[in-house]
Structure 1
Amino acid sequence: MNHRIPVLSCLCGIAAIASADIVPLTVYENADNADVSGLNLFVDVTDGGSYIEFAFGNSSTTSAVVTAVYVEDTNSIDGWLLNGHISAESTGVNFSDGATPANPAQMSDAFGGTWAGNLYSADADSPGPTNGINETGNESLTLRFDYGGGATFADVLAALTADDPGFRFAQHVQGLPGGYSVWTTTVPAPGSLGAIALAGLLAARRRR
């Protein structure tokens, strides 16, 4: 079974996909107010029997390069995902274990709060914008984890797609128009969406 997990640059489609086996990601840090309307990032999640794979892709309609990926290590999935490593890279993509910075940008409570630590991370070899996952739709990075602790594909997918996810992805996305960068993560629990919308409204009012 294969599930595509798109990264959404806005929250407008969340209600329509809440019941599907997908986890939308959203921009949670955009300090420079970059235009993210063209972002279309996704993860294909595949069950390999004794392992699970997360394939990160990029079909954005604007310039954008994924230069670092992070998988959160939480008590919810303790012992479920083992031996994380890069299992495949498409032509033009070159990543190495251990991302810089060591952790993604700080998240507010509305996005799940403090990052619990990395189960695995990787970033593009220098120069990152050249070796990262670009917006052509033809590039990808695949991470593989062995199942542990009796966990199954259904267990991991349930943790990833829960209203309050048991663990999160994070990505550093660079090379947006204007040379800006943003951070993306798993969409938070529905109860937090109102807080995010309110924060956006207040920020917009302050800019007027």
Structure 2
Amino acid sequence: MPEHVNILFHGIGEPQRELEPGEDAYWITEGAFTAILDEVTSWPDVSLSFDDSNSSDVTVALPALLDRGLTAEFFVLAGRLGQPGSLGEKDLRALVDSGMPVGNHGMWHHPWRGMSAATTHEELAEARDRIAAAIGRPVTRAACPLGRYDRATLSSLHRLGYTTVFTSDRRPAVPGRWLQPRFSVYRDDTPESVRLAVQRSRRIPVRLRNAAAGLVKRLR
């Protein structure tokens, strides 16, 4: 079965806002970003994405992507639009005008697990509508905040018409599948460590363990 690797970045450089507890583990230097970017885009069948709508998406990532003729997908937190250190509506339009798809990452960076009906509506429907209004086009793809989801969330995403949903389950994806796992890049990562993480995920014991963990998430 063919495989596809989805690589996920978060913040780059110095944060321009107060970080959530533990969030600094996902911030990397500009040098690490360009080195890892050049490594992973030398592989076949790789896609790039960015979560959390940090301002570095447009100040650092976008120029690097354009210089290399690359495309990435940006998953946006609607509740942070226009906040210091985060993307604003003009930034979203700049991404779209540069050929970068924009998707929904929720309203407030709350985990999409065990949500009430009201929270589900806010995170999956209201946030999507706000982002769509900002970019002037429909939003059809989503990424689960903190990589957390459950059966009820997946059912709601299906019902609301999302065409693809991304996780951070750290295993290769099957092209065309509705649920797409991704490999997050961490603060201490290097091109070599990212490459090894992807290679390890293809080993039979690791593949079986990751598949079982994903099944538990989908069924709970």
TM-score (norm 1): 0.29
Higher RCO by CA contacts (8 Å cutoff, separation 6 or greater): 1
Which structure: greater helix fraction?
2
Name the structure where strand makes up a greater proportion of residues: 1
